[in-house]
Amino acid sequence: MAPVVGLGRLLSKLGTVCAFPGGGGGALSRKTLILFVWLIVGAAAAGQRGYFSNVPATCSAGATIAATMVTGPLNYLGVNPQITCNWPVPSSS
């Protein structure tokens, strides 16, 4: 049976495996991997709330989707960002 690998060791293994093609030796850093996973979790939360079922028609809908994705796993701790945009209305001449 294989030994259990801790999260730190798993992330370090993933960082060395996820190298960019074309040489250069630049491996995917741990911070980049954490940011990528954070945004994936945020996108999953936005999808579960049904934000991707319709194209956002207003600034508020688009901003709410973006804020939900940026807050990432905090959505599952009760964060529910709601953004309202107030665009100036052009005056009629």
Q: What is the pLDDT of residues 12-26, one digit of tens each?
A: 555 554 555 555 556
pLDDT at 1 over 50: no
Give 5 or 70, the one with higher predicted confidence.
70
pLDDT at 2 over 80: no
Tokens of residue 4, six digits: 């259990």
Give the bridge partners for 27, in sequence order.
19
**Whether the predicted model's global pTM rises above the 0.75 cut:** no
pLDDT at 5 over 60: no
pLDDT band at 86 (very low <50, low <70, confident <90, very high): confident
Per-residue pLDDT of 27-56, as tens digits, reads: 778 899 999 999 999 999 999 988 888 777
Q: CA 10 → CA 24, 27, 33, 35, 72, distances in Å?
A: 23, 15, 11, 16, 21
Residue 37's pLDDT is 94
User: What CA dihedral angle connects 41, 46, 50 and 56, to 10 degrees?
Assistant: -140
